[in-house]
Amino acid sequence: MAHLSPPDINALKAGLLAGNRASLSQAITLCESSLRLHQELSLNMLEELLPHGGKSIRIGVSGIPGAGKSTFIEALGMELIEKHQKKVAVLAIDPTSEQSGGSILGDKTRMDDLSRNHNAFIRPTATSTQLGGVGQYTQAAIILCEAAGFDVVIVETVGVGQSEISVNKMVDVFLLLQIVGAGDDLQGMKRGILECVDLLVINKADGELKQKAQLEAANLKNALHLFPQKHSGWSRQVKTCSSIEKKGITDIWNAIEEHQQYLKSSGKFEVQRKQQTDAWFVDLQNNCLFDFIHTQPSVQALLIKTRAEISSTNSNPLGLVREMKIALKELFFRK
């Protein structure tokens, strides 16, 4: 295999800071690379670009499959570009197959108008089988988008699950998309997710479903009072919209801006951003330790031995894990 020359980091940074979308895409690809040289280069690049980040509104959008997340994001994105002169970046997380390692990465085709707009950037990113519904490098991608001059960064997650709430640790406002008649409004959704929600939106409120959507929104608004208030003190809002008809989108953006103004006026915005940084550090720290341990030849030999033993028909996984912990302690703490 031919040796790949390392990218020109200075040229990449210059292009990214100038708002070049190709440079931004290349920078994100560098962060996602599994090559150790690329990982080191990406960390150095991110460190230098950090002062240029942090200036966007970070929005997390989640919802069950079929809720119309991509259509909603395109409608919101086009509204922000056309009516508010915003630059919009979308980090669309796609599920990765555990068997093939591949992913669909189809959001560019589902957001046709937005993907062709020069003030928009859409980056489909695979989860790489990671829990949480967000990719391992999503936080880095957010920083890079901000450094490239994007005013709004939208993170579209895979779907609703208990681990999906991890997106709440990296965005300023968490929006949950719901549709009419998707089942018992609150029983069908995880309590942990609802406790993270800042804005709950009932999509597809058009045609015969418009009146039902309004009634369901009123019921949800009453039901949300049963949940404890968010730590920021923000009172959750419920909205309806039709992404296809582009109705209700302005009202939703006004609610997002109201949420941001509340956080900043109450002093909670900086606290929340600090929490985002802390959560990112924990992820970086865990990845660093994991990579270091796995590069040790003695650990690699131990893992190969353990995997071979677990393949036996009479294997005891709990006993093997106990033995592995003892062996690891001897490797790293022997006198």
21-49: pLDDT as tens digits = 999 999 999 988 888 889 889 999 999 99
15 or 301, which is more confident?
A: 15
| Rounded Cα–Cα distance for residues 165 and 179 (Å) | 19
Percent of the chain with pLDDT over 70: 84
The burial class, CB within 10 Å (0-12 / 13-18 / 19+), for 130 is middle
Q: Give the least confident one: 20-29, 137-146, 156-165, 206-215.
A: 156-165
Q: Give the least confident one: 15-24, 126-135, 214-223.
A: 126-135
pLDDT at residue number 182: 62
318 or 176, which is more confident?
A: 176
Segment 168-181 shows an average pLDDT of: 89
pLDDT at residue number 294: 79
Phi and psi, residue 96, nearest 5°: -100, 140
96 or 150, which is more confident?
A: 150
Q: What is the mean pLDDT of the chain?
A: 83
pLDDT of residue 189 exceeding 70, the answer is no
pLDDT of residue 288 exceeding 90, the answer is no
pLDDT of residue 184 exceeding 70, the answer is no
pLDDT at residue number 200: 93
pLDDT at residue number 116: 94
Locate all alpha helices (DSSP H) within 158-227, ordered by sequence: 191-196, 210-224
Segment 209-222 shows an average pLDDT of: 89
pLDDT at residue number 323: 81
pLDDT at residue number 126: 59
Residues 6+ positions from 136 with CB-CB distance below 8 Å: 32, 128, 130, 283, 287
97 or 174, which is more confident?
A: 174
Kind of pairing between the strands at 152-156 and 173-179: unpaired
254 or 40, which is more confident?
A: 254
Phi and psi, residue 274, nearest 5°: -65, -40
Confidence bin at 105 (pLDDT 50/70/90): very low
